[in-house]
Structure 1
């Protein structure tokens, strides 16, 4: 089966309700292409999403999916992967979902290094609730809730991931479709927690971090004329702490990484009902097996 056919397999029959031009369209397409290119199919793929515009992605993709509560997508994804390590688990969220209420879960998911992929659609604003500033919004960003700017330093997601022990840290741009799909594919193929922060412009509420802005400023660390060793921790730290540029590509990768499940010897789906489980819980489990 060709990669084009496989890509179509991941598209659901539900029509997206994102604003025309939303960066999440490109982000999702890249996810589906990467899943197809890595030989996955809907029957072995589980997509977990949080709250926000990005939370709808599980509805628009044809796979197993769960739309969780705000900031809790990562622990759900962790549970799914540990319960069935044979599944390809992809967690999707936004900058508000992942770096605000979900920040604590993000840190622990990174350090555990469970073999799953985390895609964050970073539009630097709260889009679903009509344009409030988010954890990654600029300090001078003016919105309805910050008319004089946020007066807060934005979170640096890549720095947070590196400090938490991240083994695969990358950034992509939703409009650069081929490059975005390549980066997500590498995250899927990585043995451990693959983290990709995606520049995903909000065309309705953010008129600063636009497509034109990213096209004009992004530097791709994978370009032939850009010297960067992704396995060099100190080199990665230097790029990540450089807030004067927008970088795209795999910033850091620990090539000796081993996913949590392998380290713990979790090799097969947990189809056995644990001893001591409450009877009503056992009945619920039986319904799904």
Structure 2
């Protein structure tokens, strides 16, 4: 790790192809700032992503990376961390990738409590496939494939994480850059599975859950007038199950958390690095697009 690393050191030379104004720009910048603030650098960082707009993030960040298949980023991240616990593992996903096809992996990753960070860019829409309703879309949200609304209650990812035994559950807003970076940093520093669901507006296909909507609706649990204790499970449950408000901050944290690999005694790499392997992430060539 380096104490002189800057967040710009995590920027690759690939230009993002996200739509102008996409919330994922802010989400990624916050991730890079958090990694730098925690003393990590590209050579000890591994970013895993699945499919969707969020899946491109491993290309846009300068680190070791793997672009996996739909919904399977978390088991890959788990394997990476168990194979080399010295790496800082960050998994990136979207609401479709993580809470639909990847929902089963999400629950089991939470309960295992491997020491890695999961950042989900939740725009409440399938953006890459041009605007279908996602698991977190509103019940009355009208799209080309659900013209009368979904008529289904949206998934509550924070509640899923709490029920599965989550030890760090937070929510942020990509446009609130400083607060978002702070929350991702706290997730990284947490001993165990750090989960951050990020309000990351889609400016092309979602005209309901917009930047203006979130700016007006968000309640930050870190504000003094909210008086929230994230170590209080019952209090966290009450907030998480409140569908009338959009919360930002650390909703729940178990400060006595012990990561899975610590419980299992995995404290060094399981494999030897072969002779001739690149010593620096810059030596790797990854052409995903």
Question: What TM-score range do you get, normalising by the shorter chain?
Answer: over 0.9
What is the Cα deviation at residue 6 of structure 1? 1.3
Q: What is the rounded CA distance, in whole Å, between the counterparts of 2:57 and 2:271 in structure 1? A: 28
Query: Superposition RMSD on alpha carbons, in Å?
Result: 1.5
User: Partner of 1:31 in structure 2?
Assistant: 31
Structure-2-length-normalised TM-score: 0.93
Aligned pairs (5 A) from 1:95-134? 95-134=95-134
Q: What is the rounded CA distance, in whole Å, between the counterparts of 2:135 and 2:277 in structure 1? A: 38
Worse-matched range after superposition: 222-231 or 244-253: 222-231
- SS of equivalent to 2:6: helix
Worse-matched range after superposition: 87-96 or 222-231: 222-231
Q: What is the rounded CA distance, in whole Å, between the counterparts of 1:210 and 1:8 in structure 2? A: 27
Q: Deviations over 1:208-259 (max 9, x none)?
A: 0000000000000001221100000000000000000000000000000011
Q: Deviations over 1:8-51 (max 9, x none)?
A: 11000100000000000000000000000000000000000000
User: Partner of 2:264 in structure 1?
Assistant: 264
User: Partner of 1:236 in structure 2?
Assistant: 236
What is the Cα deviation at residue 192 of structure 1? 0.2
Matched length: 277
Conservation of the 8 A alpha-carbon contact between 2:3 and 2:39: no
**Alignment partner of 1:222 is 2:222:** yes
Q: What is the rounded CA distance, in whole Å, between the counterparts of 1:84 and 1:102 in structure 2? A: 23
Q: What is the rounded CA distance, in whole Å, between the counterparts of 1:15 and 1:91 in structure 2? A: 20
Structure-1-length-normalised TM-score: 0.93
User: Partner of 2:254 in structure 1?
Assistant: 254
4+ long deviations beyond 3 Å: 285-289
User: Partner of 1:85 in structure 2?
Assistant: 85
Q: Deviations over 1:143-174 (max 9, x none)?
A: 00000000000000000000000000000000
- SS of equivalent to 1:21: coil
Q: What is the rounded CA distance, in whole Å, between the counterparts of 1:125 and 1:8 in structure 2? A: 29
5+ long unaligned stretches in structure 1:
274-284
Q: What is the rounded CA distance, in whole Å, between the counterparts of 1:258 and 1:24 in structure 2? A: 31
Aligned pairs (5 A) from 1:192-231? 192-231=192-231
User: Partner of 1:164 in structure 2?
Assistant: 164
Residue 106 to residue 288, structure 1, CA distance change in 2 (3 Å): farther
User: Partner of 1:151 in structure 2?
Assistant: 151
5+ long unaligned stretches in structure 2:
279-289
